[in-house]
Each structure stands twice: as structure tokens, then as C-alpha cells.
Amino acid sequence: MWKKIDRLLSNFEEYLTGLLLLGSTLLLFVNVFLRYVFRSSTTWAEEAIRYALIWVTFIGSSICARRGSHVGIDIFAQMMPMRGKKIILASGQFISAISMFFCVFYSWKMFMLVSSTGQKSPALLMPMSIVYFAMPLGFSLSAIQFVIAGIRALTNTADPVEPQAMDEIDLSRVN
């Protein structure tokens, strides 16, 4: 069941961030083209790109949590036996999840405040609550991914400090 949830979440995250990045790139290209060819650009493109990148940032945080790409210090884990490595790395994942739950709580409060005011963006006239919803959603997805990563760190039989995939390069171990 966890694998299905993980796959569903990862597909959602990857497709959403991919579409937002692709849309932002195309919109930026069209806006630059309009500006230099016709000497007139859209009034709303920069705002739309800014909000899309906000969404990419918060959803991308969850992708990084799933891939183990967040910055971490593993020097103590490297010196431990296998059991110690698992405990230290899983503890780090669970502490990160707890901090994400705090972020969910406070970002939800911000979202509700903005929703209650009915504030709209200047150029798009879009409800700002849509932009602010990226925070609790991104933090929630990150928390879930950190919990899953913590469980994986405890149950995985491979060395949790060593890179798992052949295409990953760990620059800290390059001589």
C-alpha cells in the first residue's frame, strides 16, 4: 500500500512541477519574443511565472525529500556500524518530518488568513489563496516523504550512507 501511495505522490509531484516549469519557460519565451519583436509584452506573464515558480519550489521540496537530495551531514553516520547508521539517518528523517508538520500548521494558518481577506493578485486578479496553498501542500507532501524515507532507512538492508543508484555522484567521496 505504501508503494502505491509513494508512486501516486511521486507521479503527481513530478508531473505538476514539470508542467509548471515547461509552462513558465514557454510563457517567458513568448513574453520575450513579444517584447523584442512587437515592442509590447503581456502585463501578467511575469506574475504568472513567479507564482508557478513558488509552486515548483514547495512541491520540489517534496521531490528532494523523496530522493534524499536535501542537504545533510552524515559524518557521524559514516563512522557508525550499520545499525547506528540506520538509527541516526532515520532519526534525521523523522525530525525533518516533525519540522515539516510544524510548517504545515503555520502555513495553513497563513493560507486561511489570506483566504479570509479575499486578496487578489495585481495583474492576474487571481485569488492569492491559490499561491499560498502551495506552502501547506508542499510541506505536507514533504512530511509524508520524510516519514517514508525514515521508514526506508530503518528497513533497508543496503548501507544507508552509500549512494543507492549508480548515476548518483557523491562529491564528498571524490579524492
59-95: per-residue pLDDT in tens? 999 999 988 888 777 777 788 888 888 888 999 999 9
Read off the C-alpha cell for 93.
528523517
- The answer to whether position 175 is within a domain reads no
Kindly report the length of the chain.
175
Residues of the chain with pLDDT > 90: what percent?
62
Angle between helix axes 134-155 and 82-117 (nearest 10 degrees) is 170
Note the pLDDT of residue 174: 46
Q: Is 86 helix (H, G, I), strand (E, B) or coil?
A: helix
Neighbours of 16 (CB within 10 A): 16
How far is the first Cα of the chain from the last one, in angstroms, to the nearest whole number? 42
The single residue listed with the C-alpha cell 499560498 is: 132
pLDDT at 166 over 50: no
Domain-embedded: residue 169: no
Give the mean pLDDT of the chain. 88
Range of the domain at 68: 2-162
Listed residue (153, 141, 160, 151) closest to 11, CA to CA: 141
Q: How far is the CA of 63 from the CAs of 12, 14, 43, 160, in angstroms?
A: 10, 7, 32, 18
Contact between 118 and 127 under an 8 Å Cβ cutoff? The reply is yes
Q: Report if residue 171 sits inside a domain.
A: no
- CA-CA distance, 109 to 144, in Å (whole number)? 20
Is residue 170 situated within a structural domain?
Answer: no
Sign for the pseudo-dihedral over CA of 148, 14, 159, 96: negative
Cβ neighbours, 10 Å, residue 51: 19
Q: What's the structural domain count of the chain?
A: 1
Render pLDDT for 22-48 as a digit per residue (tens, 0 to 9): 999 999 999 999 999 998 888 899 999
Residue 171 per-residue DSSP state: G
Largest separation between any pair of C-alpha atoms in the chain: 65
